[in-house]
Each structure stands twice: as structure tokens, then as C-alpha cells.
Chains A and B, each alone.
Chain A
Amino acid sequence: MVTRTTSAITRAMRHLGWSGVAALFVLICVLALAAAGPPGDPHVMQLRDRLTPPGGTGRSGTTYLLGTDSLGRDLLSRMIFGCRVSVLVGVLGVSVSFLIGVPLGLLAGYRGSGLDSICSRLADVQLSIPFLLFAIALMASVGTGLVQVILVLGVARWAVFFRIARADVLSIRNEEYVMAAQALGASNLRIVARHILPNSASAMLVAASIGIGDAILAEAGLSYLGLGVPADMPSWGLIAREGKDYLQVAWWTSTLPGLGISTVVLSVSILGDRLRDFASPVARKLLGVR
């Protein structure tokens, strides 16, 4: 048992490198914390304990590992709650982009013709608008909310997945095994699902892993601007924003959530970077230098 575990770790090290393994470890810890949930109520205010520094004991006699914010709320509980929100937005936001972009890209690449040119032009237009500008303008019109943020971030990034899926299909479409399947009379749906999708899956997974980091950063930015999640659902970006006004007296309220965001995004992008080696050459070019 021990040898099997050791050999699994050695194999992972070989593929991911020490930084990749470290990133994976950090992400597993973060997800475990998010799954375990906050130790206390992230919303309950203890005004007598407001702005207690990390590790300090408030006037009510409670000790706070990460201190409290300006309303005396436990920062550790808020951080773990915020981690749930941030990671949820990152993962679901990318899933929305994925679900719009990948089927369209597969179809456009496989069928070509009218659908392809319409979707490709649309993707050009979408990618001509700075991502954050588009998200800000949309959020201003749909209003704040968790579902809104996820949908807006998802819609704003569909074109990235569309382009990768399309390029990958175009490079695979004329492979011999696809032609063989066609010659055998396989339906188009079957060819796409059984022969093309599995072969371009790695590229899309890489794109998704990179996209999660971007989505978490974008959500933090939107929440900082007051255009993200509502106040009763604090994400890391929102907690950092709330702490900004108390910077002179309490450094921790803004610093800690920012550190959380940076750590998670860094881990995700290191892992994405390592996984990039598994993507096809065509997709690797599109994923390119970020």
C-alpha cells in the first residue's frame, strides 16, 4: 500500500514537477476548507470585537485566528465562506463559457459553411471588446447577483473556447480515422462525440483550467467595483473591498482575502501551465503566452 502511494506520488512529480504538485496540494487544501465550511457564522456581528487583529482576543473574550472586520465579523469564517463563492463563480463561469463555446466550435469546425462564418465573425467581435469592459457594462445593466456574475463571466468568455474547439476540430477532421468512420457510415453526431471530442478534450481541459483563474480574478475585480456578488454573499473580492476603508487601522481585512485570491489563482495557473504540455500543438498555439 505504502509503495503504491509512493509510486503514485513519484509519477505525479514526474508529470507535474514539484511546483505542479505543490499547486495541486494547495488547491486540495483550499477545496477541503471550502467543503468543510466556515467554523462560525460569517454574518454574525460582534461590535465589541470590531477590528481585532489576527490572533487577538476581542473585548467579549473570543479569540479570532484571522481577526475581525469593521463590524466585528470573524474574518476566518468570512474567508472560508468567500472561498466557496469565489471558487464557485470561477468553476461555474468557465462551465458556462465551455457549454456555449465548445458545442458551437465543434459544429462550426466540423460542418463549416454558413454557421462557421457567422460564429467566427461573432467571436471576432466578442474578442474585440476588452473582457472586463464588456463584463462591467453587462453587470451594470443586469444588476448584482451570484447567478448574474456567473452568466456574465461565462458569456464574456465563450469565444475563447469556441476558437480552441474549432481549431482543434479543423486539425482532426481530415485524420484518417475520422475518414474511416465516415466511410463506415457513422453519423455526424457519432463521429463528433466518439472520435473528435475525445481527441481534443485535453486542449479544452487546459483552456478551462486557465479560464478558472481568469474568472476568479474577474469576479474579484467586479466585486471590488461593487458590480459583483451582493453584500450578503461575500466573495474574496468583496471582503477586500469592505476592508479598504479601514486600511489605516486594520491591514488584515483587505490583505488576507487578496492573498487568498492570489494563492488560488497562482496554483490554478501553475497547474494549467503544466497541463499545457498535454494539449495538441494547434491548441497550444492558441493558448499561447497569456
Chain B
Amino acid sequence: MGRYITRRLGQMIFVWLGVALLVVVGLRMTGDPVALLLPHNMEPDVIAALRAEFGLDRPLYEQYARLVLNFVRLDLGRSIYYKQPVMKLVMERLPRSLLLAATALAVACLLGVPLGTLAGYRRGTAADVVISGSVVAAQSIPSFWLGIMLILVFAVRIPWLPTGGSRTAASLILPAITLSVIPLARMTRFLRAGVVDVLGQDYIRTARAKGNTERAVLFRHVLRNAVRPAVTDAAMTFGRLIGGAIIVETVFAWPGVGRLLMDAISNRDFPVVEGGTLVIATLFLVINLVVDLLYPLFDPRIAYD
């Protein structure tokens, strides 16, 4: 177990270094960040001074090394717009993003498990066709548009819920539903496949032959074996949800890290764009690692040694 953790941790650090390199190169080679920061008609010496201030005049490898070293010291530089450390800004908004992603994931599990089980257990029936069809349809809806439609129906036409912000607990409902659609579709699809697979196993025939009620077979034998991989997969998507939340946070003015990143782009706040991107990417890596390491807890058959 210890050796496995060390190896996975080493792998993650390697991948993280690559991600950081991609962020550094991506944000610099594709254009001049300073030119995007400033209005068009700026004096050349002002531009040069700003380049020097952010160290953008240094060679690329030096900029990369400094970013990595600073990140290890949890220093992401200072925001031009807010005049505050980027780390502080990100950390203030991170709990909101995590809350949104966790709620969306909970909704996905609570609805996805019964729907997927029903579709798999009654394979080929009308219920299965409707559920499986909805899954494909749900994955084709742009999340921002779904958000707009939910606002139109539940905040404008029927004024039950707030259109955005985060002042009341009710503000969480619409963004969480919007964000939950993709993981919900994935969960349902995964569980349906799992249930169909388990139903064909010999031990299910044995369980039925022993005279178990169909109810006991479903809950004690089918579900126990089918739920595990689906829930693990859902946990894996948690990291991706934080990235996907950028759009949802913008639609609903939800003050999370994604919103901070978008504001930073429109404020031309380069250090926050770079720092925010790196933090979200890092979070994604860490969550995937944690899920991977927790896997034996879900499934005792897997042991890392």
C-alpha cells in the first residue's frame, strides 16, 4: 500500500509539472499576455515596464521554474485588479465551488442510482427506452442553455427561485441541478450497464434458485455489485465538475473559482488567470488521486501492494 501511494504520488507530481508547463507555455506562446492586459494605444515603454514587473521578459524556462517554486510555497503572485494575493482570492472562493460540485454530485447519485437500476432491471421495456433516450438527450444540451431555460421557467415565469447569486440557500438549487445533468446521465448509463451485466451472472441464478424473493435478489445481490463501479466513476467526475462549473457559475453569478477566472479574463488580470487555471487543474489531479487511493474501501477485492 505504501509503495503504491508513493508511486501514484510520484506520477501525479510528474503530470502536475507537465500541466504547469502547458499552462505557462499556453498562456505565453499563444500571445503576449501584457498586450491583452493593456489598451491598444499604450506607450512601448509602459508595456516593457509591465512585462518586466511580471517577469515576462525573462527566458521561458526561468518563468516556469519560478512559477513551480512559488506554487510550492503557495504563492501565486498578486492580482492586478484586486491588489491582493491570488492564493487568497482563490481560497476565498474555493469552498463555494466545492459546495456546488458536491451538491451536483449528490443529486446525480440520488437520482442516477434508481433510474439506472430501473432501466437495467427492466431492459427493453418502455421505461428503459425513455430513461436511456433521456440520457443521450441530456448529454446533448449545452449547460449554459439549460441554466438559462431553468432561470426562464423557475425564476422568471414562476418566480420561485432566485435567478442567481448566493445569498440564500435556495440560490444553490438551480445551479446544482444544471451542473448535475452530465454526471447524472453518466451515472444512469453506468448503472444500467452494471445491472444488465450483473443480472447475467451465475450467482444471480443461484440466488434465485435458493428461493430468494425478487426484491432480495435485486437489493442484496444485484445492486450491491452494480453500484460500486458507478459510484467510483461518479467520484472521478468530481474533479471534472469543478472545471465544468465555470460556465454554470457564470450563468448563475455563483461566486466560485470559475467565476473568479472568468472575471479575471474580462478584467485582464493575468496573474489570476494563470493562478486560477493552475489551482483548478491541481485540484482535478488531487481529487483523482484521492479517489484512486480510496478505491479499496469501496471494493475489498482490490488491494494495492
Chain A residues within 8 Å of B, Cβ to Cβ = 121-122, 124-126, 128-134, 136-138, 140-143, 213, 217, 220-221, 224-227, 237, 240-241, 244, 247-248, 251, 254-255, 257-258, 261-263, 265-266, 269-270, 273, 289-290
- Are B143 and A221 interface neighbours, CB within 8 A? yes
Nearest 6 pairs between A and B by C-beta?
A130-B243, A125-B18, A258-B145, A266-B140, A265-B140, A133-B243
Complex interface: chain A residues within 8 A of B189 (CB) = 289
Q: A240-B145, A240-B148 are in contact. List 6 more A-B contacts (CB 8 A).
A: A125-B18, A137-B23, A138-B30, A224-B142, A237-B144, A255-B152
Number of A-B residue pairs with CB-CB distance less than 8 Å in the complex they form: 144
The answer to whether A124 touches B273, judged by C-beta atoms less than 8 angstroms apart, is: no
In the bound assembly, the distance between CA atoms of A124 and B17 in angstroms comes to 12
**Contacts A130-B284, A132-B243, A132-B247 given; does A213 touch B140 at CB 8 Å:** yes
Expressed in whole angstroms, the Cα–Cα distance for A179 and B287 within the complex equals 44
- Name which residue of chain A comes closest to B261, CB basis: A136
Question: Given the complex of chains A and B, what is the CA–CA distance between A248 and B163 in angstroms?
Answer: 12
Q: Is the CB of B36 within 8 A of A143?
A: yes
Partner of B144, one of A129, A130, A221, A251: A221
Q: Is B266 an interface residue (CB 8 A)?
A: yes
Q: Which A residues lie within 8 Å of B273 (CB)?
A: 137, 140-141
Given that A137-B26, A137-B273 are contacting pairs, would A130 and B18 also be in contact in the complex, using a CB cutoff of 8 Å?
no
User: Contact at A130–B265, with CB atoms within 8 Å?
Assistant: no
Contact partner, A129, options B30, B152, B186, B284, Cβ 8 Å: B284
Chain B residues, CB < 8 A from A142: 30-31
Q: Given contacts A133-B280, A266-B137, are A255 and B149 in contact (CB under 8 A)?
A: yes
Enumerate chain B residues within 8 angstroms of A254, measured Cβ to Cβ.
145, 148-149, 152
Partner of A247, one of B15, B137, B148: B148
| Chain B residues near A131 (CB-CB < 8 A) | 243
Contact B145 A262 (CB under 8 A): yes
Which residue on A lies nearest to B17, using beta carbons? Answer: A125
Q: Flag B254-283 by CB within 8 Å of A: 1 or 0 each.
A: 000000011001100000010001001100
Asked if residues A221 and B247 are in contact (CB atoms below 8 Å), the reply is yes
Assess whether B18 is in contact with A217, with CB atoms less than 8 Å apart.
no
Contacts of B262 in A (CB 8 A): 136, 225
B121 part of interface (Cβ distance < 8 Å): no
B22 near A266 (CB under 8 angstroms)? no
B33 within 8 A of A: yes
A125/B22 in contact, CB under 8 A: yes
Which residues of the partner chain B approach A132 to less than 8 Å between Cβ atoms?
Answer: 243-244, 246-247
Interface string of B219-263 (1 = CB under 8 A from A): 000000000000000000001101110110011000000000110
Interface residues of B in 1-47 (CB under 8 A from A): 14-15, 18-19, 21-23, 26-28, 30-31, 33, 36
Q: Cβ of B139 < 8 Å from any Cβ of A?
A: yes
